[in-house]
Structure 1
Amino acid sequence: VYSCSVANTFAVTFDDGPYKYTQDLIDYLDEQKITATFFINGQNYGNIYDYKDFLIATYNAGHQIAHHTWSHPNISSLTDAQLTLEITKLEDAFLDILGVIPTYFRPPYGEYTDASLKILNKFGYKVIVWDVDTDDWQVNNLATEKTNFLNGIAANPDVPGHISLEHDPLQITSQQLAPWAFDYVKSKGYKPTTVSECIGDNPANWYRTKSLR
């Protein structure tokens, strides 16, 4: 899935957290009464167990928690066994912390192969990519990131709604880019929402209670 299928929805999504700046973003979202989708790593900028309380609070606030592998490898270069470990290690952490396992998955770098999709399908994941890329993880410049965001929207005029990629561990993203993006989205008549809602999926399908391994 690259874009939204529900008209006039916009999923501004966040990868690679949790990390210390993510709380600033959550505070903003809660204040604005917006729910978003977070694609979580087990070990990347921080370790998921060090942010256990934060993750529980984010989940309880109604944000969508999703799977982004344990350690953020390019899964297209992994063996089947390595990818399975990346999936199950994070599933175990989600079960430990939240008592549920997400059903949505984003491959790091947006890279995947037919073989990796087959494994993800076996584990019951909906694979989500994006059609708007701020490139914030490489750029680290607010003006350029805003331009990338606008260009991504302009390049895909025929979709009902958009899915954009941001990274909440980055200070500029969580404190400046994300609030600007949400304000812009609303000013253009889009409803900011989770990926699940923007593709017409029921929130009851966000999680499962056991692994499909």
Structure 2
Amino acid sequence: MTFAAPLEKKQNGVEVINNCYQSGQIALTFDDGPWNYEQDIANALNGGKGTFFLNGNNYECIYDKVDQIRSLHAQGHTIGSHTWSHADITTLDEAGINDELERLETAFIRILGLKPLYFRPPYGNINDLALKVLGDRGYKKVFLWSDDTGDASGESVDYSKGVYDNIINNVPSPRLVLDHSTIPTTAFEVLPYAVPRLQGAGYQLVAVDTCLGSSGEWPYEWVGEPGTPDGSWYC
């Protein structure tokens, strides 16, 4: 899916965003991890920064990827919430939404000492109740996208490359791209093709908090020092 025009909606202090603001900047975002390819993706960004919207228990339990998540954060990539179980939050009541968010927040606080303030809804589905709950919990922004590579929808590698070719043909238009860190062809075929071309065309690869310019903010709330894994760290 590609959204044709910038979208902003505010409710309870939460903004819904579907594109970057800064000319010449592109934010590549990666959903559905943690899994096996996040570091390969980080390497493929060739010095650029990405954004990883993580689940708690989707492809793998987040507590089994503690070192990987800490490494991504230390490398300067932005990490946001994608719910605990990849739930469609528009199908949940208020208690259900709170549970999906709180369980993942607990994992973030244990692993990084940080609570996420940036959120991407699974399937891109968001409603007023979800925005209310997110606002009540202190979230600042909900991210959709301007371009979808189709990698998680069964589209071919050539299709995904074509999405990036179209972006390159429209430089320096800011873009916010949906990819998935759970798809091996994204890590090993699409990004190695697209990233050098994006950078060669003049795009700066940045995280979502950077591509919003002065409208961005630190995407976390500091809670305390990271914890040490113990028997309570399980899915």
User: d(CA) in 1 for partners of 2:175 and 2:114?
Assistant: 27
Q: Note if contact 2:49-2:77 (Cα within 8 Å) is conserved in structure 1.
A: yes
2:87 aligns with 73
**Per-residue deviation, residues 168-198 of structure 1 (Å, max 9, x unmatched):** 1111011111222222321222111101000
Runs of 4+ in 1 over 4 A off after TM superposition: 157-160, 201-204
CA RMSD in angstroms, aligned pairs only = 2.2
Give the TM-score normalised by the residue count of structure 1. Answer: 0.89
User: d(CA) in 2 for partners of 1:199 and 1:62?
Assistant: 16
1:21 aligns with 37
* Count of equivalent residues: 206
User: d(CA) in 2 for partners of 1:154 and 1:46?
Assistant: 34
User: d(CA) in 1 for partners of 2:130 and 2:60?
Assistant: 25
- Residue in structure 1 matching 2:211, options 198, 207, 210: 198
Aligned runs of 1:74-113 on 2, under 5 Å? 74-113=88-127
Structure 2 counterpart SS, 1:165: strand
1:147 aligns with 162
User: d(CA) in 2 for partners of 1:201 and 1:111?
Assistant: 26
Counterpart amino acid of residue 209 in structure 1: W
Gaps of 5+ in 2: 1-16, 224-235
Gaps of 5+ in 1: none
More helix by share: 1
1:117 aligns with 131
2:191 aligns with 178
**How far is 1:100 from its partner?**
0.5
Q: Does 1:138 align with 2:159?
A: no
Larger CA deviation: 58-67 vs 196-205: 196-205
Give the TM-score normalised by the residue count of structure 2. Answer: 0.81
2:200 aligns with 187
Structure 1 counterpart SS, 2:202: coil
User: d(CA) in 2 for partners of 1:139 and 1:147?
Assistant: 14
Which structure: larger Rg?
A: 2
